[in-house]
Amino acid sequence: MDMLKLTDVTISYKNVPTVKNFNLDMKSGQIVSLVGESGSGKTTVIRAILGLLPGGGKVTGGQILFEGTDLLSYTQNQWRKLRGSDISMIFQDSGAMMNPTKKIGHIFTEYILTHEKISKKEAWDKGTRMLERMRLPSADHIMDSYSFQLSGGMRQRVGIAMGMTYQPKLLLADEPTSALDVTTQAQIVRQMVQLRDNYHTGILMVTHNLGVAAYMSDYLIVMKNGKIEDQGTREYILNSSVNEYTKKLLKAVPSLGGERYV
Amino acid sequence: MSEKSEVILEAKHVTKKFPAADGRFLLANNNVNLKMYKGKTLGLVGESGCGKSTFMKLLVSLDTPTEGQILYRGTDITKLKGEKLRQHRKHIQMVFQDPASSFHPKMKIRDIVCEPLLNFGKIRKSEKTEVCRKLLEMVELPGEYMDRYPHSLSGGQRQRVAIARALALEPEIIILDEATAALDVSVQKTIIELITKLQREKNITIGFICHDIALVQSVAHQVAVMYLGNVVEEIPGHELNTKAVHPYTKALMGSIFDIHMDYSRPIESIESEPPSPLDLPKGCPFQERCGYRMDVCKKEAPRMAEIAPGHSAACHLLNLTAR
């Protein structure tokens, strides 16, 4: 059975359909990327899966099935249980989702305590262990820092560590490396691939970086103006796609030793 | 490559320090020596915080260096003041990363594009419409856009307007600070094509700051790689892919995700992060992340040494191979 299945999903903001007839089948342990230009509706799709559409956004048609249950029929309470346990999300800048006046340790413990009935001390230790498991250096020091004291790459790894605490079956990633430098980006990408290898986590990623998408994904979906323009395996999209738009996008990616303009 | 063309801007031993708490200093640029040649592009690449934007700010006189000189056609522009500095500004113009925040939101495109011309008394107010239309057509935008406000243009169109504004005074040099970083790849491509076309037509000198080494090598005649305020390697753009020698340059290239890459090969990346520019290690700035570190790297900072014409690097490994 598919882990995640979207059938004919239409999402509208204030009754204007933004994403139309979106279909997706995703198996567990699969990495799928949504690529496309800004405004093509990539982020809207993954936000809808977690019920996190911003003001005025609503799924107006179709079905979102997660392990066979219809997420759209969920109540707020059911959503809250699902978020951060079976499905987690990493944002472009994990620092922005953390309260800047609280230390990482506090935020992490608070998150764990909303999902588990354990003591504060146990939650703190669990958080530290999680950071260590994600191979963050000096986890104790990080727990005792504010988010702004960490570098962008560190913050992103803390975000991933938090998201992975309950070994979610599905990890949604919204431009997880876009705010990072190339060297840090490579570290994060490698870590995300390892998550799949070690924990069999399925990853649905939104990115505009075709290179990153191609490196990580088993399957790519190219979006344009709220519709699926092209889709297929990595080999198909990169080498044998006949779609004009896909070809145009691929051609625009600068490449070392590739086209020079001067 | 550069023997024939003339040097129009030269940075000599430029150092910029910012004061920090506890009497310490943040070393943003350390003894940077770079030349810009007429009609050529100098690409400056490096991670965030390496001092590339600080350096470009010094070039456009938005800030003054702590030590060193910046020579524009022989005059030291760091010493210019008042009216002389104002008159000098029309020679070097700048395009910023985010066009949405570098325009006044309540000014129409016509006023934005023509403002520098009016400031220098080059045109009369009655000529604005005509001049603006010409400038917009130069950047391949319809002339009707002059009555719009910046918010009703797309990111790529706004960046075109920014280029039109920068070129309005017909400067000799324009500095593009991450000018395409906020754009989609397909739009980025069209902007790059426009910039290089204008460069060929008008023989403009370009300073191109960017963090994407693949993009830099495709547009720059000469590429300078910066790390923690130091230029560690300078190399002609077309040789970057094959002849780069500095371990940092190689690491930057190795961590790029290329759609033509071999996916069975694991991605190379340097683990760890650059040290804080507040307390730099003694010796080579890159020592803590370098896979080839030797004893000498901890004691002595390597100097720039020429490898071939137009190609130089600062690394102790080079001395080793030379001997």
A37: contact with B, CB 8 A cutoff: yes
CB-based contact (8 Å) between A239 and chain B? Answer: no
Q: B47 vs A151: CB contact, 8 Å cut-off?
A: no
Q: How far is CA B134 from CA B113, B122, B165, in A?
A: 11, 15, 12
Count of alpha carbons within 13 Å of B323, Cβ hemisphere only?
Answer: 4
Q: What's the pLDDT score for residue B2? A: 44
Contact B196, B164 (CB under 8 A): no
Q: Looking at residue B1, what is its pLDDT?
A: 46
Residues in chain A within 8 Å Cβ distance of B258? 211, 253, 255-256
Kindly tell me if the per-residue pLDDT of B232 is higher than 60.
Answer: yes
Close Cβ partners of B49 (under 8 Å, ≥ 6 residues apart): B228, B274, B277
* Secondary structure of residue A13 in the 3-state scheme: strand
A119: distance to nearest CA of chain B, Å? Answer: 34
**Residue pair B260/B276 in contact by the 8 Å Cβ criterion:** no
Would you state the structure tokens that stand for residue B8, as one six-digit string?
């129009």
- Averaged pLDDT for residues B71-90: 91
Whether B260 sits inside 8 A of A258 (CB atoms) is: yes
How far is Cα B165 from Cα B176, in angstroms, rounded to an integer? 13
Given an 8 Å threshold on Cβ–Cβ distance, is A154 in contact with B186? no
Q: What is the pLDDT of residues B30-59, one digit of tens each?
A: 999 999 999 999 999 988 888 888 998 899
By the 8 A CB rule, do B170 and B88 touch?
no
Chain B residue with CA closest to A238: the answer is B259
Contacts of A183 in chain B (CB under 8 A): 47, 251-252, 255, 269-270
Residue-averaged pLDDT of chain B: 88
Write down the pLDDT at residue B25. 86
Contact residues on chain A for B155, CB-CB shorter than 8 A? 38
Read off the DSSP letter of residue A48: H
What is the Cα–Cα distance from B159 to B127, expressed in whole angstroms? 23
Q: Does A252 touch chain B (CB under 8 A)?
A: yes
Assess if residue A239 is contained within a domain: yes
pLDDT of res. B322? 58
Tens of pLDDT, residues B120-131: 998 999 999 999
Q: Is residue A131 part of a domain?
A: no
Quick count: other Cβ atoms within 10 Å of Cβ A240?
9
CB A186 to CB B269 under 8 A? yes
Q: How many CB pairs under 8 A join A and B?
A: 118
Closest CB from B188, B199, B217 relative to A256: B217
B276 in contact with chain A, both atoms CB, cutoff 8 A: no
Identify the closest residue of chain B to A246 by CA–CA distance.
B186
Chain B residues within an 8 Å CB radius of A154: 273
CB-CB: which of A184, A238, A262 is closest to B273?
Answer: A184
In a domain, A9, yes or no: yes
Element (DSSP H or E) covering residue A56: none
- B78 CB within 8 Å of a chain A CB: no
A132 found inside a domain: no
Residue A153: which of B186, B241, B273 has the nearest Cβ?
A: B273
Q: Residue A202 sits in a domain of what CATH number?
A: 3.40.50.300
Neighbour tally for B309: CB within 10 Å: 10
B215/B213 Cα distance (integer angstroms): 5
Q: Which residues of A touch B240 (CB under 8 A)?
A: 256
Residue in B closest to A194 by C-alpha: B266
CB atoms A212 and B213 under 8 Å: no
Q: Where are the domains of chain B?
A: 7-322
- Contact criterion met (CB < 8 Å) for A38 and B258: no
Q: Mean pLDDT throughout B244-250?
A: 91
Using the 8-state DSSP alphabet, how is residue A55 labeled?
T
pLDDT average, residue stretch A28-50:
91
B54 touches chain A (CB under 8 A): no
What's the confidence (pLDDT) of residue A84? 86
The tens digit of pLDDT for each residue in B173-227 reads 999 998 888 888 888 999 999 999 999 999 999 999 998 898 999 999 999 999 9
pLDDT of residue A153: 84
From residue A240, how far is each of A208, A221, B295 by CA, in Å? Answer: 20, 14, 51
Nearest-by-Cβ selection for B188 from A153, A252, A258: A252
A130 with A122: CB under 8 angstroms?
no
Cα–Cα distances (Å) from B187 to A19, A213, A251, B162, B190, in that order, read 22, 19, 12, 15, 5
Residues of A with CB below 8 A from B196's CB?
A: 261-262
Q: What is the pLDDT of residue A202?
A: 94
Contact of A136 with chain B, judged by CB distance below 8 Å, is answered with: no
Q: Which CATH superfamily is domain B7-322 in?
A: P-loop containing nucleotide triphosphate hydrolases (3.40.50.300)
Residues A203 and A220: beta-carbon distance below 8 Å: no
Show which of residues 179-218 on chain B sit within 8 Å of chain A, judged by CB atoms: 184-189, 192-193, 196, 199, 211-215, 217-218
Query: Distance between CA A31 and CA B12 in Å, rounded?
Result: 50
Partner residue opposite A254 with nearest CB, options B218, B252, B267: B218
ipTM above 0.85, yes or no: no
Read off the pLDDT band of A1 (50, 70, 90). Answer: low
pLDDT on residue B4: 62
The predicted structure's pLDDT at residue B141? 92
Ramachandran area for residue A68 (φ above 0: left; ψ -120 to 50: alpha; else beta): left
Rounded Cα gap, residues B104 and B196, in angstroms: 27
Residue B157 has pLDDT above 70, yes or no: yes
pLDDT band for A45, please (50, 70, 90 cuts).
Answer: very high
State the pLDDT confidence band at B81, using cuts at 50, 70 and 90.
confident
**Number of other CB atoms surrounding residue A248 within 10 Å:** 12
- Inter-CA distances, B43 with B112, B226, B233, B251, B307, Å: 27, 10, 12, 18, 19
Least Cα separation, residue B114 to chain A (angstroms): 29
Cα four-point dihedral sign B139, B142, B146, B150? negative
Q: Which residues constitute the domain of residue A10?
A: 4-93+169-252
Does B264 contact chain A (CB < 8 Å)?
Answer: no
Distance CA B139, CA B161 (A): 7
Looking at the domain assignment, is residue A114 inside a domain? no
For chain A, the domain total comes to 1
Q: What is the mean pLDDT of chain A?
A: 90
Does pTM top 0.80 for this prediction?
yes
The answer to whether the beta carbons of residues B134 and B117 sit under 8 Å apart is no
